[in-house]
Amino acid sequence: MRGATGGLLGGEGLGGGAGSLVSGGLGSLGAGALGGGGLGGVNPVSGLTSLLPIRGLIPPDINPEEYSGQFQGDIVLDEPAIDYMVNQYAMVRSAVVVADVRWPNNTVVWQFNDNDFDEEQQAAIQEGMQLVENNTCIRFRLREPGETVYVNITGNATGCYSMVGYGAVRGMHVLNYAPHPPGTGCLRLTTVVHELMHILGILHMHSTHDRDNYVRIVEENIAPGMLGQFFIAGAQDVSNLGVPYDYLSCMHYSSNAFSANGNVTIEALQEVNGVMGQRDYITDSDWLRINRHYDCPGAWDE
């Protein structure tokens, strides 16, 4: 699949050195784009497993979601998402834009996959949901029998990763937390929320369309084949929702993400009063981004 992706998206699609996103758009990750059947037969998830070998090089303090073997580390590309990128590559963007990738009624329907987590691990994940509920108008509701569109929270040992946003055509949405001890790895509270923000439709901070005004991607330090991790989203596909660029966002990657040599791959162009890539807390801007994406009451007042 890596080959297929590389072939289709080539230098311009993924490799151009651009990259990332915030929220809002990426509409085609949602319902619309399935029709064309773009990559028939290709499994976008397994294809990216070529990233997995580098995990052996990961320093122990790294953010695990950066190395979970998916597109941009932890974003699961399903067929609509691949179609989006193929279409973007083909410069027919307007054809694939879908207005809304938000969960209806601000409500994420979810379940735990059977027997994947013990009680403490389940509590750690639900603590993240509670934190989101406490700071936004988002609600999480357990799947009821017969419901076909929902998030299946799995505990495969393959890292932490998630689909982005809501897509009715997906049916079951993928969200995975490797079942680490609560408070560590994928079950660190801020990392739990990081993946929940993906499923709510938020992309990585450093992928937003104007990120080059705030960070410099240092290509010469990026590990071979990893340039695609620094994908930049188009301004027509994502929105910053009027929220300033946030170096401390829990959706930002660390300064040495995907480094080949330990040197920085993401260089801040302004002073950062904290640690880029921190996973100790969720910032006010992170919450505001969710609240504005879902038009929560008061989110646009200031």
List active site positions. Answer: 195
Is 206 labeled as ligand-binding? no
CB 32 within 8 A of CB 98: yes
Question: Toward Zn ion, which CB reaches closer, 86 or 192?
Answer: 192
* x/- track of binding to Zn ion for residues 189-218 (CB under 5 A): ------------------------------
Shortest Cβ 204–Zn ion spacing (Å)? 6
* Binding region for Zn ion (CB under 5 A) out of 27-35, 61-69, 90-98, 278-286: 61-69
Residue 74 makes contact with Zn ion by CB under 5 A: yes
- Give the number of other CB atoms < 10 A from CB of residue 282: 23
Using CB under 5 A as the binding rule, whether residue 78 contacts Zn ion is answered as: no
* Residue 198 assigned ligand-binding role: yes
The answer on whether 209 is annotated among ligand-binding residues is: no
Task: Answer yes or no whether residue 66 interacts with Zn ion by CB under 5 A.
Answer: no
Give the contacts of 211 (CB within 8 A, at least 6 positions apart).
Answer: 19, 20, 205, 232, 245
Of the listed pieces 58-66, 143-151, 211-219, 288-296, which binds Zn ion according to CB under 5 A? 58-66
The C-alpha atoms of residue 14 and residue 194 are separated, in whole angstroms, by: 23
Q: What 3-state DSSP class applies to 162?
A: strand
> Do 23 and 293 form a contact (C-beta atoms < 8 A)?
yes
Distance CA 66, CA 186 (A): 11
For residue 41, give the amino acid letter: G
Between 9 and 163, whose beta carbon lies closer to Zn ion? 163
Nearest CB to Zn ion, comparing residues 92 and 275: 275
User: Among all chains, which residue has been given the structure tokens 């601000």?
Assistant: 106
Shortest distance, position 253 Cβ to Zn ion, whole Å: 8
Question: Quick one: tokens of 141?
Answer: 């509701």
**What is the closest distance, in whole angstroms, from the C-beta atom of residue 8 to Zn ion in the complex?**
22
Q: Given its phi and psi angles, is residue 244 left (phi above 0), alpha (psi -120 to 50 degrees) or beta?
A: beta
Q: How many residues bind Zn ion (CB under 5 A)?
A: 2
- What's the min distance (Å) between Cβ of 162 and Zn ion? 7
Q: Which two tokens stand for residue 159?
A: 């890292």
End-to-end CA distance of the chain: 45
H or E element, residue 111: strand 107-112
Binding-site residues for Zn(2+), in ranges, read 194, 198, 204
Q: Which residues fall in the annotated binding site?
A: 194, 198, 204
Residues in contact with Zn ion by the rule CB under 5 A: 65, 74
